């Protein structure tokens, strides 16, 4: 009888303890979730509006599509908490003042090419293109898994600027010429729009290098201010109408074998973002970086075919002796750069070491595969008459 009365008491006590425990746990959990929500709510209520200034003419396909795509990705991923508005060259600042604008906080972000800042930061050329250097695939490997991006951030840190890879064009074209190049002697006296270290190489090879932004190229060719121009490749060159102002189109882009573009972010503006928005900026940049190479890979050949068939562009390979002269002067220019600037020496060593290793592996992978593919597929042919 006694046992029968004890059991319900024990059950009631156990249930009571359980309810109390669950209640305390629930209160605790509730307090935690409220605390988390309050903390999250504080930051999730913040809204950020950024300006992104570019070196490209407004709406330019290819290069100019990247910042637009980046802004669209950030706006969508952040649910509107971070909105990025894109401005073309000259809308907020002139094209070659993009870096300074980001450094000084006139704009929170920029999109352009690191080698445009060579006068201020000589080692910046490594992060766009080195003549006879790495391809797009290789430079992406170096930046993201070979220490390159850390060096880039170290290089820009004194300016309060944080760089991200901003898309690659792949191997560019050597450029448009208003006369045929039959030998290296034909470089003498040529005035060419060609930036970066390659500009120095071209000058040492007998020509004159001119730095012009994309929006200035067509008129400069048309009016004879320059005789030759390198811009990008078929997709972007056709958009600028370069086939209307020059007849000969040379390949390959010895000077820009995998031109890397850049997103630049004002470091203080980046630091003000909550961590999730910082991640969104980082991931949107990474996605846009890969996307650009996809677009150029997909569309360059179509544009090249149109240039040849619809406009009569004459496609030509660079003569071997032109390549030899350019290479010889490229070695000299690169050595001089590495000897004259401590950061260029440090970055140049990392770049060289990575190139040696990746070239070694690509010899028996990328190149070996293309060789065996060429053995079995029909030969490549172009429709222009040489």
Residue with smaller CB distance to Ca ion, 200 or 230: 230
Q: How far is the CB of 151 from Ca ion (least distance, A)?
A: 22
Tokens representing 347 are: 């970055």
Residue with smaller CB distance to Ca ion, 138 or 256: 256
Query: 178 with 249: CB under 8 angstroms?
Result: no
Residue with smaller CB distance to Ca ion, 171 or 315: 171
Alpha helices, H only, the chain: 2-44, 65-77, 98-103, 136-145, 148-156, 196-204, 214-222, 234-240, 267-272, 275-311, 320-340, 342-363, 366-376
CB neighbours of 182 closer than 8 A, spacing ≥ 6? 319
- The helix/strand/coil state of 315 is strand
User: Contact residues for Ca ion (CB under 5 A)?
Assistant: 172, 230, 256
With CB atoms as reference, the residue minimizing the distance to Ca ion is: 256
Tokens representing 378 are: 């029909």
Conformation bin of residue 164: beta by default, left when phi > 0, alpha when psi is -120 to 50? beta
Rounded to the nearest 5 percent, the helix, strand and coil shares of the chain are 60, 15, 30
Q: What is the DSSP string of 97-112?
A: GHHHHHHTTSSSEEEE
Q: How far is the CB of 385 from Ca ion (least distance, A)?
A: 27
CA atoms within 13 A on the CB side of 100: 11
Q: How far apart, in whole angstroms, are the C-alpha atoms of residue 162 and residue 110?
A: 10
Residue with smaller CB distance to Ca ion, 87 or 254: 254
Q: How far is the CB of 172 from Ca ion (least distance, A)?
A: 5
């Amino acid at each position: 009888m006694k046992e029968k009365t004890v059991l319900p008491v024990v059950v009631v006590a156990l249930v009571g303890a359980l309810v109390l425990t669950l209640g305390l746990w629930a209160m605790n959990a509730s307090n935690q979730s409220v605390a988390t929500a309050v903390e999250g709510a504080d930051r999730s209520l913040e809204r950020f509006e950024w300006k992104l200034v570019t070196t490209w003419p407004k709406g330019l396909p290819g290069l100019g599509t990247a910042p637009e795509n980046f802004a669209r990705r950030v706006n969508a991923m952040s649910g509107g908490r971070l909105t990025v508005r894109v401005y073309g060259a000259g809308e907020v600042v002139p094209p070659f003042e993009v870096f300074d604008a980001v450094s000084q906080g006139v704009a929170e972000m920029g999109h352009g090419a690191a080698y445009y800042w060579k006068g201020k930061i000589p080692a910046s050329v490594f992060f766009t293109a080195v003549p006879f250097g790495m391809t797009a695939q290789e430079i992406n490997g170096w930046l993201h898994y070979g220490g390159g991006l850390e060096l880039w951030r170290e290089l820009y840190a004194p300016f309060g600027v944080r760089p991200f890879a901003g898309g690659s064009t792949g191997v560019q074209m050597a450029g448009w010429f208003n006369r045929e190049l039959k030998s290296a002697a034909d470089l003498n006296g040529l005035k060419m729009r060609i930036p970066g270290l390659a500009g120095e190489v071209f000058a040492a090879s007998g020509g004159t290098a001119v730095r012009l932004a994309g929006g200035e190229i067509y008129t400069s060719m048309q009016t004879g201010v320059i005789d030759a121009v390198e811009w990008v490749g078929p997709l972007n060159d056709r958009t600028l109408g370069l086939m209307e102002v020059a007849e000969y189109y040379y390949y390959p882009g010895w000077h820009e074998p995998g031109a890397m573009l850049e997103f630049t972010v004002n470091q203080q503006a980046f630091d003000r973002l909550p961590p999730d928005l910082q991640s969104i900026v980082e991931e949107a940049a990474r996605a846009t970086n890969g996307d650009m190479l996809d677009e150029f890979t997909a569309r360059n050949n179509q544009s090249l075919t149109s240039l040849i068939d619809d406009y009569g562009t004459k496609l030509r390979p660079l003569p071997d002796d032109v390549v030899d002269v350019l290479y010889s002067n490229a070695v000299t220019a690169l050595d001089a750069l590495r000897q004259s600037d401590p950061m260029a020496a440090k970055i140049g060593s990392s770049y060289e070491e990575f190139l040696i290793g990746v070239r070694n592996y690509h010899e028996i992978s990328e190149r070996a595969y293309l060789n065996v593919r060429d053995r079995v597929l029909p030969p490549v042919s172009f429709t222009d008459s040489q």
